[in-house]
Structure 1
Amino acid sequence: MTENQLKWTGFFVTVIGVVGLVLIFFSVDFGTSLADSWVAKQGGASTERYHIILESYIHSFLIAGSILFGFSLLFAIFTYFAFMLLPKR
């Protein structure tokens, strides 16, 4: 890998990490919004069912954010070591 490729990889790792953190920290807001739109499409739902749907959406965003953030950490470590092993000119 060239130094330029490593810099671009670092940029994409940062973007993916930020997206993952946003999904994690705002999972409740995103999940509530989707659950509310689901109830509006259904025309109403019982409290128990709404709660199950709400938790499902929240957990979906938490899982997606965790996966993205985990991959970004993994690739950040890879990029760091690849940059350190790159011959200096």
Structure 2
Amino acid sequence: MADELKKMLDDKEKVQLIIAAVVMLGGLVVLLKSVATGQAMGEKWLESQGNADTDLYLETIKSYIHLYQIVGGVMFGGGLLTLLRAKLKK
């Protein structure tokens, strides 16, 4: 019975590590694609507005880029910290 419990805990830890690695890699992708995605979102915003001041358009693009950088950074950092914590536990 103790062996089954230990195996179940090991499986749970493996799943958590896999999820952490996927979140970390997803965050890295979001970080690397933040400029292109931010520009695309800015262009969609401009299309929905019809027309806008150039400064406002550029500020909107910057805001979208920063948004994706923050989200990607949080995902990457959270996944990395989870993996490091698991590594230091062992």
TM-score if structure 2 supplies the norm length? 0.87
Unaligned runs of 5+ in 2: 1-5
Shift of 1:22: 0.7
- The C-alpha deviation readout for 1:20-72, integer Å capped at 9, x for no partner, is 00110000011011100000000011110100000000000000100111111
Matched residues, number: 83
User: Percent of aligned positions with the same letter in both sequences?
Assistant: 29
Shift of 1:78: 1.7
| Distance (whole Å) between structure 2 residues aligned to residue 62 and residue 37 of structure 1 | 19
| Distance (whole Å) between structure 1 residues aligned to residue 12 and residue 86 of structure 2 | 10
Unaligned runs of 5+ in 1: 85-89
List, as ranges, runs of 4+ consecutive aligned residues in structure 1 with deviation greater than 6 Å.
none
- The C-alpha deviation readout for 1:2-22, integer Å capped at 9, x for no partner, is 111111011101110011001
RMSD (Å), alpha carbons: 1.2
**Which residue pairs with 2:77 in the alignment?**
70
